[in-house]
Each structure stands twice: as C-alpha cells, then as structure tokens.
C-alpha cells in the first residue's frame, strides 16, 4: 500500500474513507458488484479496531477479543462466508460450558455463560436452583428481539421499528422483571462492558443483539483479528479495488449539491461518484462546509453523546508461566454489575474485563493478557491537543502523560493480582492505551469504544440512516445501528444496498450463497 499518485485523473465509483471493518466490508461488497472502489486509511495499518500490534514478539489485538455467531448456519457465519472469510480465518472455539466467567469481589463463585441456549439454561440453572423458568423466559425474550431485526437473521421481510415496544425497555429494568434474585440479575448483566451498558439507560435491544451472538457460539481469533482485515483487503485488490494508507481525508469539495472529491492532508484530490464515511459522524460533517447540509441535521448529529472509552493493559507473560484458559473474565468490585462505569479516581478500576490471547506457537500456554477497564475521556483531556497518527501527526504527549499511564498501570495490576493471585510474578512487561489512543487510531472524537450512546427513553434518535443530506454521501460503521462484528457487517450491507438501489437484493444474494455453500 502507498499514498495515491496522480489520482486527480481517476474518478472512482465509490470512495470509502476509513478502513475499519465497515469500510472493508463495503469495499468488498461493492467491488464484487463491479464498482470501481477506493479505500482511504489515515494510518499505516488497515482495519480500525481490527488492528493488531506486537510487543516483545507477542501479538496483541486492539479491539477484537472474541467473535460470536460463527457456527455453520449462524448469522455471522453466513455473512463471513459471503465475504470470503470463513475458510481463511484461524479460529478456536471457546469453552462450551463457560466462554464468559462473571465474578464479584468477595464472592468465590464463578458464574458461567455457556454456549448454545439449551446449554446456557442448563449451566446457569445449576448455579441458581429454582430459577430455570426465569432463565428460560430471559432467553426467549432475547431470541424474540433478535428475530425482529431481519438482517441479523438474514431475513428480507419488512418490520416496523417504530411499533417495536422493546425499543423502549431498559435492560436493567427488564432483568429485574425476570427474576427477584439480585445475583442472577447481575450475572445476566455481568458482561455489559461488551456494549458499555449503563443502568437505567441502555435499551434491551442492545443487550439482546450483543449477547445473543455469543451465546449462539463464541470463538477466539488465533494470532489476532488483524487477519480479517488482511484477507478482506487482499480480496478487494484482487477484484480491482485500490487501498491507500497514510491517506488522511480532511475536506470534501462540491460540484453543485454533490461531492466532487475529497482532499487529503498531502493536497491530493480523490474524485468519486459516491462517497462512504466509515468514521466519526461529527468529524465527517466537519469536512463539509456550511451550506451543503441543513444546520438542523448537523446539530442533531453533533449533539449525540458517545459511549465511554477505556484504559487497556497489554500484558506480556513470562514464557510458559500461565496455562491458556479458554474463557474471558468479567470481574466486578460491587455486587451491582452496572457500577463499573461510575468509578471514582480513588476506586478505579471498579471492575475489569480480561481476555487471554490464543497462540499457535504454544497452544497449552498463553503468552499475553489484555485487560480493559472503563475510563472517561476527561481523565486525559489535558493532553488532547497532542496527536499520534503516523505519519502526519506524530507527537510525544510528554512526561506527565507517561507518568499518568504508569500510575494507572500499577493500580490496575494490583486489582488484577487480587483476582488472580500470583499474576505479578508471571509478568514480563506491560504496555497500555488510553482514550487518546482510541481517538487517534480509530478516529472517534473522544475515544469512544462503541460509538453513539443508546438510550431507551429516545431509541429512534440514535438510529442513523446511511443516507445523508448530501445525495452522494453515505455513512456506515458502528454508529448506524449497533457496534461489534455483526452490527458493523450488517450496517455495511445496509449502506451498500442504498448505493445499489435495491434494499433486498444483497441480503437475498448473501443468504442464497450461504445456503449453497454450507
């Protein structure tokens, strides 16, 4: 990959800004449909949250810690089959009887989320005698909600979201209505860092769509999720698409009401018939001069609140010091699983999510751990004028920032040691990232992990359509409907359907392809 040369003479059918999963999926789909595609990426590495990096010869994921729905016939399996991925990925299925372990400080019991709904009910009912009927009611509701979203089930029937009553149901309130057992309520909510779940705010449909895919089946990418970006990029190029890294877009030029080209930091202009933005919505609008979109639309988008960010530890372990465990850990310092986001600087981190990394070199052992804890952007706001975007904005954030990270690393490791005694002695080295890291490499305003914050009290406000007020500018990515592998893949299909012009053509094609190639 390289910066585009002499592209002023080239007019692409579709120019895609941002090479995260959404941009790559759009590029693959449209290239497959015969469009001349160009993808622009500001960083060296493609993939957005699919990016990986290496420290001490150990590979770390930045965002994809596990994937759901990849068993034959399941939703993401069918999409990945169509995208030419499923037979190329190196995957490991996680523990069938407990892919996620939920724990609480002071409680020695490890509560397990199992794969497959019957198994999920069996395992959890064993830990909560007398609650089987309530757990079944919970599972029935989760599946009912998922069935209402046809694209998540590869259906092409029309559903009226406006009439869907579950959009206005709060997740915490729903769990309280299912069972009076407080511990069970919090075990069912225990993996809420998957979607930055917030008490009395997060809609039930967000919880349902996220947890369903993992309950159906859960998988780890061996050697990281970067392989997804690598294979998609290679396929796009084979179909005639072009991908340019070190190509940061800063402004749209117009011809009448349509965008004529996008300007890069190096001064080059990339012309196209259609443009797709796969990065922060407000930043996309910043590239449009006043007059081309209504101020009301701009105000609506920029007023949407982003979800919280995180501080992440990347731990390199001493060789063969820790056996690989085929599950994740979600640990809470309070009995209330929703309290983690309400941390203070004194009690931080108020819980964490921990992901061991699978390696093909020493399958019996794990050589690294990734630990994630909520962190608000205001903790790093004082350094927000610094940027670390290779090669255009490489800046040292200074000694105070480095000291801030070191202090947080130390506190975090102390908390991990309490949950996993003996961990300290197994650590070889530690690295970390903050909301500023997410901001610079993913392109969000404030380092948000999961895009726009959803609120059950006004659910339709955060359903963003791929069409904008500019006729040839479209949106894709985690802000359209939902974050995550499945949510972003579905959003790409919706975006491409708008450009192709038939809302049902692609989904029928994907379903037919998946059925014929099981």
Q: What is the pLDDT of residues 458-512, one digit of tens each?
A: 888 888 889 998 999 999 998 887 888 999 999 999 999 999 998 889 999 998 8
User: Strands 368-375 and 351-356, how do they pair?
Assistant: antiparallel
Q: So what's the pLDDT on residue 7?
A: 44
| Alpha-carbon span 152 to 212, nearest angstrom | 10
Bridge-partner residues for 372, per DSSP? 312, 353
What does each C-alpha distance from 71 to 90, 123, 216, 383, 514 come to in angstroms? 14, 20, 8, 44, 12
| pLDDT confidence band for 8 (50 / 70 / 90) | very low
Q: What is the mean pLDDT of residues 214-232?
A: 94
Q: So what's the pLDDT on residue 390?
A: 61
pLDDT tens across 149-194, in order?
Answer: 878 877 767 666 666 778 899 999 999 999 999 999 999 999 999 9
Which residues of 325-439 form beta strands (DSSP E)? Answer: 328-332, 351-356, 368-375, 388-389, 393-394, 427-433
The three-class DSSP label of residue 268 is coil
Concatenate the DSSP letters of all residues of 428-489 into one string.
EEEEEE-HHHHHHHH--SS--SSSBPP-TTSGGGG---SB-SSTTEEE-STTSS--HHHHHH
- Work out whether the CA dihedral 287, 291, 293, 297 comes out positive or negative: positive
pLDDT tens across 52-63, in order?
Answer: 888 998 989 888
| Alpha-carbon span 456 to 104, nearest angstrom | 27
pLDDT tens across 439-451, in order?
Answer: 888 777 888 888 8
Spatial CA neighbour of 472 closest among 12, 23, 18, 14: 14
| pLDDT confidence band for 5 (50 / 70 / 90) | low
- Which three-class secondary structure string do you get for 35-102? CCEEEECCCCCCEHHHCEEEECCEEEECCCCCEECCCCCCHHHHHHHHCCCCCCCCEEECCCCCCEEE
pTM: 0.94
* Residue 222 DSSP one-character state: T
CA 418 vs. chain centroid, Å, equals: 29
Q: Cβ contacts of residue 349 below 8 Å, gap of 6+?
A: 311, 333, 340, 343, 373, 374, 411, 412, 415
| Alpha-carbon span 164 to 145, nearest angstrom | 9
pLDDT-above-90 percentage for the chain: 72
**Buried b or exposed e, range 322-335, using 16+ CB within 10 angstroms:** bebebbbbbbbbbe
Bridge-partner residues for 373, per DSSP? 311
Spatial CA neighbour of 60 closest among 448, 399, 294, 368: 368
pLDDT tens across 99-157, in order?
Answer: 999 999 999 999 999 999 999 999 999 999 999 999 999 999 999 999 888 788 777 67
Q: So what's the pLDDT on residue 391?
A: 61
Q: Cβ contacts of residue 393 below 8 Å, gap of 6+?
A: 387, 440
pLDDT-above-70 percentage for the chain: 95
pLDDT tens across 361-388, in order?
Answer: 888 999 999 999 999 999 999 999 888 7
| pLDDT confidence band for 6 (50 / 70 / 90) | very low
């Amino acid at each position: 990959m390289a910066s585009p040369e002499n592209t002023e003479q080239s007019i692409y059918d579709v120019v895609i800004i941002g090479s995260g999963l959404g941009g790559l999926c759009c590029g693959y789909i449209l290239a497959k449909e015969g469009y001349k595609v160009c993808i622009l990426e500001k960083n060296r590495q493609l993939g957005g949250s699919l990016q990986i990096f290496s420290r001490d010869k150990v590979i770390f994921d930045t965002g994809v810690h596990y994937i759901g729905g990849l068993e034959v016939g399941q939703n993401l399996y069918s999409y990945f089959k169509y995208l030419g991925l499923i037979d190329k990925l190196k995957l490991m299925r996680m523990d069938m009887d407990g892919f996620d372990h939920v724990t609480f400080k002071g409680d020695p019991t490890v509560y397990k989320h199992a794969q497959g709904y019957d198994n999920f009910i069996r395992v959890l009912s064993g830990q909560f005698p007398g609650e089987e009927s309530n757990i079944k009611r919970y599972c029935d509701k989760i599946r009912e909600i998922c069935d209402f979203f046809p694209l998540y089930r590869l259906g092409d029937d029309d559903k009226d979201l406006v009439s869907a009553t579950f959009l206005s149901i709060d997740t915490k309130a729903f769990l309280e209505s299912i069972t009076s057992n407080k511990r069970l309520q919090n075990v069912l909510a225990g993996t809420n860092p998957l979607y930055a779940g917030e008490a009395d705010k997060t809609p039930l449909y967000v919880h349902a769509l996220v947890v369903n895919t993992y309950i159906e089946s859960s998988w780890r990418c061996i050697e990281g999720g970067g392989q997804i970006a690598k294979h998609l990029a290679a396929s796009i190029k084979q179909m005639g698409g072009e991908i340019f890294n070190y190509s940061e877009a800063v402004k749209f030029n117009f011809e009448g009401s349509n965008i004529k080209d996008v300007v890069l930091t190096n001064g080059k202009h990339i012309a196209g018939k259609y443009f797709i933005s796969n990065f922060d919505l407000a930043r996309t609008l910043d590239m449009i001069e006043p007059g081309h979109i209504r101020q009301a639309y701009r105000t609506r988008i920029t007023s949407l609140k982003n979800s919280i960010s995180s501080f992440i530890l990347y731990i390199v372990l001493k060789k063969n010091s820790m056996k690989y465990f085929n599950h994740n850990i979600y640990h809470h310092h309070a009995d209330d699983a929703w309290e983690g986001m309400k941390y203070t600087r004194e009690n931080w981190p108020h819980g964490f999510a921990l992901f061991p990394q699978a390696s093909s070199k020493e399958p019996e052992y794990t050589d690294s751990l990734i630990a994630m804890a909520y962190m608000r952007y205001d903790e790093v706001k004082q350094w927000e004028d610094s940027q670390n975007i290779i090669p255009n904005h490489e800046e040292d954030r200074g000694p105070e920032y480095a000291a801030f990270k070191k202090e947080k690393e130390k506190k975090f490791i102390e908390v991990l040691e309490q949950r996993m005694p003996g961990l300290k002695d197994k650590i070889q080295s530690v690295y970390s990232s903050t909301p500023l890291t997410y901001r610079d490499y993913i392109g969000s305003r404030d380092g948000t992990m999961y895009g726009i914050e959803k609120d059950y009290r006004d659910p339709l406000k955060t359903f963003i359509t791929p069409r904008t007020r500019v006729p040839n500018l479209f949106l894709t990515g985690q802000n359209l409907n939902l974050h995550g592998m499945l949510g972003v893949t579905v959003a790409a299909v919706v975006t491409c359907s708008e450009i192709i012009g038939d809302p049902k053509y692609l989904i029928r094609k994907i379903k037919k392809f998946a059925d014929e190639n099981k």
